[in-house]
Amino acid sequence: MNNQDLLSIAREHGSPVYVYDANVIVAQYERLVSAFAKAKNLRIHYAVKALSNISILKLFKQLGAGLDTVSLQEVELGLAAGVDPKKIIFTPNGVSLEEIEKVAEKGVQINIDNLSILEQFGSKHPRTPVCIRINPHVMAGGNANISVGHIDSKFGISIHQIPHILRIVENTGMTVNGVHMHTGSDILDIGVFLYATEILFETAAKFKDLEFIDFGSGFKVPYKEGDVSTDIEDLGEQLSERFNAFCKSYGRDITMAFEPGKFLVSEAGHFLAQVNVVKQTTSTVFAGVDSGFNHLIRPMLYGSYHGIKNISNPGGKNRFYSVVGYICETDTFANNRQISEITEGDILSFSNAGAYCFSMASNYNSRYRPAEVLWYDGAAHLIRERETMKDILKGQHQLNFEELVIS
């Protein structure tokens, strides 16, 4: 998929629009499988929250992947995509026992991350095997907002509370068939990650009925030229060897599981927006686009970097622009970024727009959420229509105040 393909999509489907390259998704999936090829049994659960369009879920089903879900609704999306419930894991945080029970009824693997729900669920459903999410107290992620394995994290059961877990398991007679951790996103130092896995192996050895160990994910992808990323091949080599050794000491082969999201879809995504206005102030040249943090909030929420190219004028002279949106608050995508010369009407392409971009979009300012397009087998396929005013009004009840009696 090249600039001309993207421009054609913008012309056909309008802007703003999200575009995903299926070839990149497939390549990333195959790269991950290849990196851990020496592990005896491998299972990849795609993290639905990264990009939840049902066509994307069907693509991962076609590749043989399972799903990692965090809500009843994500589970239902996965089932609607035709994914076997046995290949879906449910790893929520802070949800009610009722929601967990509804998911369990669908035959999905349950993953519990707190002692209270573990005891309640085990008491009521001792015959339903569960996975337990452990907090290893290791901060492997690079950004504090997306690192979830540190000691003050709300996620997981502390490793210091393992005796409590064992007591609950014994008292309820429940079965623990998996242990899990997720230390956070943007992992750079695989040594730190491997240290966390040793804690997980030590924990796993305490449970006799395991079917799998889920190592989470958080593998970093590059966002700009020269950017560093997780050395997935080195990690795969070292962790596969250690995992096989664990299986030997455990007495039988179990499954190695991961739940990547960003790693699989981030680089596949392009967000296309049209320039509404080029505005010169005393010190800055603004390029104002027909979008805002209602469509792409990551730069404002996390300080995330997204490369920006003017695909309407790729060979133009570079100038410095601050790219901003049309929301009635500060919504700056880039400050003083070198981009080929921009004129009003040009189409800008934002890179790394596959993960946590559309899935975090909103209707703020009553703006429509954009369309989504999948580039598959050399052609553009619309996988979500652009919203309309009908979508904005759906579910709203318009009161007739003239007929209401004011008491």
Kindly state the tokens that stand for 173. Answer: 């007679």
Q: Is 356 annotated as a binding residue?
A: yes
Kindly state the tokens that stand for 172. Answer: 């309820």
Least confident of 64-78, 152-166, 315-329: 152-166
Q: Which residues contact 3 (CB under 8 A, 6 or more apart)?
A: 309, 311, 314, 349
Q: Which residues contact 344 (CB under 8 A, 6 or more apart)?
A: 275, 276, 277, 278
Per-residue confidence (pLDDT) for residue 187, from 0 to 100: 78
Percent of the chain with pLDDT over 70: 95
Residue 255 has pLDDT above 60, yes or no: yes
φ, ψ for residue 46, nearest 5 deg: -70, 130
**What positions carry a catalytic annotation?**
328
SS3 sequence, 12-68? HHCCCEEEEEHHHHHHHHHHHHHHCCCCCCEEEEEEHHHCCCHHHHHHHHHHCCEEE
Average pLDDT of the chain is 94
Q: Is the dihedral of CA 255, 178, 175, 112 positive or negative?
A: negative
Least confident of 83-87, 141-145, 263-267, 327-331: 141-145
Residue 151 has pLDDT above 90, yes or no: no
Tokens 């971009």 belong to residue: 357
Q: What is the helix (H) or strand (E) element at residue 98, kind and residue range?
A: helix 97-104
Q: Are 264 and 217 in contact (CB under 8 A)?
A: no
Per-residue confidence (pLDDT) for residue 185, from 0 to 100: 63
Q: Is the dihedral of CA 210, 120, 136, 30 positive or negative?
A: positive
Measuring CA to CA, which residue among 55, 1, 23 is closest to residue 372?
Answer: 55
Interval 153-179 mean pLDDT: 94
Least confident of 30-44, 127-141, 230-244: 127-141
Q: Are 227 and 185 in contact (CB under 8 A)?
A: no
CA distances from 193 to 140, 155, 242, 284, 304 (A): 6, 17, 13, 42, 22
Q: Is 329 annotated as a binding residue?
A: yes
- In the chain, what are the domains? 22-264 (3.20.20.10), 266-387 (2.40.37.10)
Residue 406 has a CB neighbour count (10 Å cut-off) of 4
pLDDT bucket at 140, cuts 50 / 70 / 90: low
Residue 166 has pLDDT above 70, yes or no: yes
Q: Is 137 left (phi over 0), alpha (psi -120 to 50) or beta?
A: left
Per-residue confidence (pLDDT) for residue 150, from 0 to 100: 47
Q: Which residues contact 363 (CB under 8 A, 6 or more apart)?
A: 294, 369, 387, 392
Interval 110-130 mean pLDDT: 97
Side chain identity, residue 12 = E
Per-residue confidence (pLDDT) for residue 404, from 0 to 100: 84
- Tell me which of 59 and 184 has the higher pLDDT: 59
β-pair partners for 271:
18, 350
Q: pLDDT tens digit string along 292-342?
A: 999 999 999 999 999 999 999 999 999 999 999 999 998 999 999 999 999
Per-residue confidence (pLDDT) for residue 154, from 0 to 100: 82
Q: Residue 173 and residue 293: Cα distance in Å, rounded? A: 49
Least confident of 153-162, 208-217, 283-292: 153-162
Vertex 27, ends 21 and 30: CA angle to 5°?
145
- Tell me which of 189 and 18 has the higher pLDDT: 18
Least confident of 62-76, 135-149, 232-246, 363-377: 135-149
Q: pLDDT tens digit string along 12-31?
A: 999 999 999 999 999 999 99
Per DSSP, the three-state class of 286 is: strand
Q: pLDDT tens digit string along 79-98?
A: 999 999 999 999 999 999 99
Q: Is 218 annotated as a binding residue?
A: yes
Rounded to 10°, the helix 72-80/54-63 angle is 60
Residue 146 has pLDDT above 90, yes or no: no
Q: Are 382 and 13 in contact (CB under 8 A)?
A: yes
pLDDT bucket at 402, cuts 50 / 70 / 90: confident
Per-residue confidence (pLDDT) for residue 138, from 0 to 100: 82
Interval 232-252 mean pLDDT: 96
Residue 232 has pLDDT above 50, yes or no: yes
